[in-house]
Homo-oligomer: A and B are copies of this chain.
Amino acid sequence: MTQYMDCIVFLLAKAYQKSQNHLKTRLRPYGLTSVQALLLEALWEEQGLTAGEIGKRLALDNATVSGVLERLADARWIIKKNDPADKRVIRVYLSTKAMKHEASLIQERTTANDEILHGFSDAEKILLKRFLKDLL
């Protein structure tokens, strides 16, 4: 029982799942999943991104992006439009609903982060994030 408990993949998996749970709980009232909220954040930063650009920015593969976009559009968080200059390209825009919730959703994510990291010192937070970034 001790060997795989020291396996980095296992530890990352469980840490991720545990942390994600904090965020998921906070997003539930909005009817959003954490990946959906993440995608909205990318759009708040820059509207009109293509599906491919979103995938690159969020390190999501195109099949996943396609599904997430579809469900976000269905729930009226985004609007998908073809690019007139290239019929293969989908550009994604935020709906009024999304614009209205920007501040609160970002707040939810920030709060979840604080919750997750509440037991760490500032130095430890920086170090942990550096370690994780080094793994990417």
Asked if A131 is an interface residue, CB under 8 A from chain B, the answer is yes
Task: Verify B3–A45 contact, CB threshold 8 A.
Answer: yes
- The answer to whether A132 and B11 touch (CB under 8 A), given A16-B16, A127-B127, is yes
> Which residues of B have CB within 8 Å of A22?
9
Nearest 3 Cβ contacts at the A-B interface? A12-B16, A11-B132, A15-B135
A28 to chain B, nearest CB (A): 15
Task: Verify B116–A3 contact, CB threshold 8 A.
Answer: no
> Is chain A's binding surface mostly helix, strand, loop or mixed?
helix
Which of A14, A109, A112, A113: most chain B Cβ within 10 A? A14
Chain A contacts to B: CB under 8 angstroms: 1, 3-4, 6-20, 22-23, 34, 38, 41-42, 45-46, 57-59, 106, 109, 112-113, 116-117, 119-120, 124, 127-129, 131-136
- The answer to whether A42 and B4 touch (CB under 8 A), given A11-B133, A16-B12, A16-B16, is yes
What 16 new A-B contacts, CB under 8 Å, besides A11-B129, A13-B20, A17-B59? Answer: A6-B129, A7-B109, A8-B117, A9-B16, A9-B20, A12-B12, A12-B16, A12-B19, A14-B59, A15-B135, A16-B16, A18-B136, A116-B135, A120-B134, A124-B131, A127-B131
